[in-house]
Chains A and B, each alone.
Chain A
């Protein structure tokens, strides 16, 4: 009797402890951080999340910031993105029109999570909104974090340009979104958020098209059950069905499971010729790929940009990553032309390595924000509405407009394949707008 009571009590307490434990991802190196160092007239953002103010020779009149996960698996990529933003500001002499700008790079991740953290996203957003010097934000990296930050910034009409959010519901309703989106993120009813990367409707459509091209007939879909992962998995399913591809299942992989052997057995017995992995490499992706390839060696793996940087996938899965296809936005950086090529060359010269595809998008996001500040000055609402008049000709990632939802009109998706532990460019897929919108 005593025994059973205590067993139950202990179990209840255990459950509470489990609920209280934050979710964990991957990654881990410490952030270099920095002191809050201040400029003259502007007030710096809190040093708990943000690095020192980077500026040119003149003291800034206004601030912009970036909000990226600077710790974890994506650290190498996100610090490079922050460098690219600084590089763009530098090339504009830290000015947008008459406004002299300072820039702070802020971190929305924690070491424990190894990726973005919801509490940090919310507190960062409040810091941006409450800082009167802030005129615009470049971010976020993760769609889940953007969900939290957009409404807070929207109340203060603070402009936001994301280089990497691909979840469709942030800007529009339709395929792959939840009911009430996107209006739930804009309490004032006036938009303040735009992105220079396409949303996942393009990516889902492109993945489905590519799957058809390489002859996949029966696809087993897995998702990591997060905003991004479930969203892209559902979109892939939707577009693939339209193309006549048979979807055998769409189920989750538990990111905390110790092995996926039994899941691999199911994939094998289902007779699938391909597996689409809707999710991010951080969610135990390396082990997942290893186990699938061990249990069902003949299936072709296909993943969206959650598996980038591709080097992280290769590092996590080793030889099992070979032959996997992974899509990324835009075209490979070595195929950029005009302003894009200038950026890539200049960046490579200054930092000693070629930028990642997403780094080019960070630079493009900075250009878009600077152009809006040039029109709107230090008036937050004017900067926000100027975002939607963006019309870039021969920009870093190409020519495009930002539509009234805040989405880019540029729909190029690149497919890469892992070969002998190296990423190699396969082709670019540009899904027709009618196919995408017809969802």
Chain B
């Protein structure tokens, strides 16, 4: 007992089992998953493609929100609960703009320029809002015990929800469907429509731009340095407060972009949607490896695919009753066997 304790000062589940068990379980799960997907693909290929496209689109939206969680966590090690609600308020703002600009039924260049205009407005709005939240609720607590900013974050989340409740009421706000629904191409008899493609066309460049920003620019270097060691970077002449503000600004902009896509694609948004989506996105960030940017998007895709396939496939599928249990069961499995998330042992500041 004593020798074992010395060898394994922190015995984990994985640590107590023979070496081959963990990979074996992992391989078994992957094989089962592959068999399940394969059989469904062969039985009903059209449905499979349809669900894959649905999952891809929802996953891109989850990923965009998850990026914001990951960025902020990476730099402050703070789970910004209010992030989901910033996203929700962005969506509400878009809903308001769509109806007040009277965009229903428009098309062509005018529609696209209006969508771009809305994107700029909503990103600016959410970026400023998120920076303000940092300034008001988190900055002064930077040296407080870690639980304190966590609680203020939950508090901010409720405040934003109540703002939305007063603004839009508890009923879901319906957004006019303005994205074109024509098909881009067809695979296996299933049409891939423009509204789905647009979501991807936003997410991929945003992810690339964000990676370039964090890895290649001076500002990104400052962010990584701040994440690694705040005091040392201050000594090196980095303005820590401004760097953190900048991070919140970027995260807010991402939330705004996600809010726009969500409002236009899902066409329905509720005052408590942010909390729900925030939970999914946070899970996505943890699944992908929190602090890791491509991981956040990958995690979002994984969760959306599970949701979509589990709700929609018909062969040996648990069905929608079990979707949440499966998603969070997966989270537990991943955290137990691979605590650093899917995309490996990178440090939070690794980008």
Contacts and interface: CB of A to CB of B under 8 A. Distances in A.
| A, B from the same assembly | yes
Interface of A: 3-4, 6-8, 10-11, 13-14, 17-18, 21, 24-29, 72-73, 111-114, 225, 249, 251-254, 256, 258-263, 265-266, 268-270, 284, 286-287, 290, 316, 318
B180 interface: no
A84 B229 CA distance: 69
A263 B311 contact: yes
Contacts of A113: 170
16 contacts: A3-B291, A7-B290, A13-B79, A13-B150, A17-B154, A25-B170, A27-B170, A111-B165, A112-B165, A114-B169, A252-B320, A260-B311, A286-B172, A287-B268, A316-B171, A316-B172
Given A3-B348, A254-B320, A28 B174 contact: no
Interface string B85-115: 0000000000000000000000000000000
B307 to A, nearest CB: 7
A262 B51 contact: yes
B123 to A, nearest CB: 21
A266 B312 contact: yes
Contacts of A266: 47, 311-314, 319
Given A256-B276, A262-B55, A265-B312, A286 B174 contact: yes
Contacts of B291: 3
Contacts of B58: 258-259
Contact of A17 (B44, B81, B347): B81
Contact of A263 (B271, B276, B312): B312
Contact of B51 (A14, A265, A318): A265
A18 B54 contact: no
Contacts of B81: 14, 17
Contacts, number: 135
B170 A111 contact: yes
Contacts of A252: 320-321
B321 A28 contact: no
Contact of A258 (B50, B146, B277, B331): B277
B272 interface: yes
Interface in B307-326: 307-314, 319-321, 323-324
Contacts of B311: 260, 262-263, 265-266
Nearest to A318: B174
A329 to B, nearest CB: 25
A11 B285 CA distance: 11
Contacts of A10: 79, 150
In this complex, which of A17, A112, A270, A284 has the most chain B Cβ atoms within 10 angstroms of its Cβ? A17
